Chain A
Amino acid sequence: MTVLSVEGLSKTFDVHVLDDTQVVGLDGVSFNVREGEFLAVVGESGSGKSSLLKCLYRTYDPTDGRVVYHGDDEVDLATCDDRTVMALRGTAIGYTSQFLNEIPRVPAVDVVARPLVEQGTPAETARGRARELLQALSVPAELWDAYPATFSGGERQRVNLAQALAPDPDLLLLDEPTSALDPETRREAIDLLETALGQGTTVIGVFHDTDVVAAVADRVVVLDEGRIQAVLPIEEFDGEVVR
């Protein structure tokens, strides 16, 4: 079953502060994503990988095209109103970037538990789930009650990933979530992602490591200058375009 149909998605930025320069981020991108599938997005720096994820999450307003999400109802994420986007973000669609954006001086366990608490899960149940995820990602127990601002890049990224996985979204958008992890921790992150997939989560992820793509992806979307160059099953992907 198709979860997401992207049709002719384009994004052009009008940069008024730079003499109204137009910058093309995406240009007529189309692809489908099946339920439970892991789709990797690869391409050189500046090819539009992050722009694609941000258009899907509506952090960017697409300029043209459709992003049809086949959830309980059919919704065009490219054009639906802000409140519809907010409702889907709370329950169905998760997003995580390389960077953690959180209120300072909130303990890691509460950072991870927050999306669950906001959905109405009792605080202690949410914290329990948060501890499980932090454990699975090998965040040392003595850090759970500490503030992520004091963590290393890799530790912070794991907190970030745990937060994205906590609410168990149907569709998870990941923007380079493993870039700061050492090989061993990356392996754990991948295991955790595969567990998430086992539960029917659909993932669209941007990765810069070929080994991560090879380990987790079912199909690969190759982007070049905002256009789709190829959509390949993982068996045909040779890692050439990943920078």
Chain B
Amino acid sequence: MTLLEASAVETIYGPGCPDCLDATGDRAGTNQCPRCGTVVACAEADLDVAEGEVLGIVGESGSGKSSLAEALALERDPEATVNGEVSYAGHDGNLLEVDYQTRHDLRSRDISLVHQHIRDGLDLEFTGGGNVAEKLLSAGWRSYEDVRMRVRELFEETEIPVARMDDPARTYSGGMQRRVQIARALATDPDLIVLDEPTTGLDVSVQARVLDTFRRVQREEGVAAIVVSHDLGVVRLLADRTLVMRHGRIVESGLTDRVMEDPHHEYTQTLINSVI
């Protein structure tokens, strides 16, 4: 069953003009409107995610993959204008037009974002357990005992040493901090997790364990995910279906192995052939 359906999603930085869409994108070879200077980070994005499915988004830096993912995760950049329509199972209306309170509730309970930069997602002065607990409190959990028990459970599930629960997150290794982010994202049993570059900044040896943990938990909990990565290997291992982005547009989509082994678009062919 469809969990999330998006059409004509766009994120722009700047005043915008009638030429913006025609003058940017894959064919134009740029994401900046030559007439008004507006940056069209992503536009004309249509996609859907089924329950329990993992959708990968790949593309080079600046292709718009994070902008699209953030729009879908209801993350707001005050400098950006976000348009389009996003519908979500069990929710009436357009997710991009909800009021502050509804957005807060959706982000606390239904849709979680794991930020690319750990500092955007965690307060490193807080304890690791506190960072996870904060998500529960914000979703309305009140009993100290319940929160404590749930945090412990999440630490075990994401393989973070429970003994470190009350240490400040800044004393954790990079791999542990990433796990705390994942634990936090899973805390309220959301239906959808958006992961932005889940392995960036981690040692290769740690990457594998983080990916394995995420995939195991994702399958066990049946949670759907959108995984953004410039690393084709990450998407190949995690995603059922994949979107390829360039200059702010989706240029190709399909089953992940099909996109990787039988790429149709010229850019995808170049991307696949560039893997070292």
Contacts and interface: CB of A to CB of B under 8 A. Distances in A.
B5 to A, nearest CB: 13
Interface string B209-246: 10110010001000000000000000011001100000
Nearest to A123: B220
A82 interface: yes
B241 A82 contact: yes
Given A16-B266, A17-B266, A103-B215, A86 B240 contact: yes
Contacts of A85: 255
Interface centre among A85, A103, A118 (most CB of B within 10 A): A103
Interface string B258-276: 1001101110011001000
B159 interface: no
Contacts of B269: 15-17
Contacts of B254: 61, 82
Nearest to A62: B262
Nearest to B265: A16
Interface in B183-205: 205
Interface string B29-47: 0000000000000000000
A146 to B, nearest CB: 14
B8 interface: no
B50 interface: yes
A101 B215 contact: no
A105 interface: yes
A105 B255 CA distance: 25
B219 A60 contact: no
Nearest to A82: B255
Given A54-B261, A61-B264, A82-B254, A101 B50 contact: no
Contact of B273 (A17, A59, A86, A106): A17
B270 A17 contact: yes
B261 A58 contact: no
A140 interface: no
Contact of B237 (A14, A15, A103): A103
A117 interface: yes
Please report whether the interface of chain B is mostly helix, strand, loop or mixed according to DSSP: helix
B257 interface: yes
Given A16-B266, A61-B262, A106 B212 contact: yes
Contacts of A13: 262
A16 B262 CA distance: 12
Interface residues of B, number: 25
Contacts of B241: 82, 86
A235 B163 CA distance: 67
B51 to A, nearest CB: 11
A17 B264 CA distance: 11
Contacts of B270: 17
Interface in A67-106: 82-83, 85-86, 101-106
A13 to B, nearest CB: 7
A86 B208 contact: no
A59 B219 contact: no
A103 B240 contact: no
Nearest to A15: B269
Nearest to A57: B257
B219 A103 contact: no
Nearest to B273: A17
Contacts of A101: 236-237
B236 A60 contact: no
A86 B262 CA distance: 17
B261 A117 contact: no
Nearest to B257: A59
A117 B266 CA distance: 37
A58 B255 contact: yes
B264 A59 contact: no
Contact of A103 (B53, B211, B265, B266): B211
A149 B264 CA distance: 31
Interface of B: 50, 53, 205, 208-209, 211-212, 215, 219, 236-237, 240-241, 254-255, 257-258, 261-262, 264-266, 269-270, 273
29 contacts: A13-B262, A14-B264, A16-B269, A17-B266, A17-B270, A17-B273, A54-B261, A54-B262, A58-B255, A59-B255, A59-B262, A60-B258, A60-B262, A61-B262, A61-B264, A82-B241, A82-B255, A86-B53, A86-B241, A102-B237, A103-B211, A103-B215, A103-B237, A105-B205, A105-B208, A105-B209, A106-B208, A117-B219, A118-B219
Given A83-B50, A118-B219, 19 more contacts: A13-B262, A17-B266, A17-B269, A17-B270, A17-B273, A54-B261, A58-B255, A59-B258, A59-B262, A60-B262, A61-B254, A61-B258, A61-B264, A86-B240, A86-B255, A102-B237, A103-B215, A105-B208, A105-B212
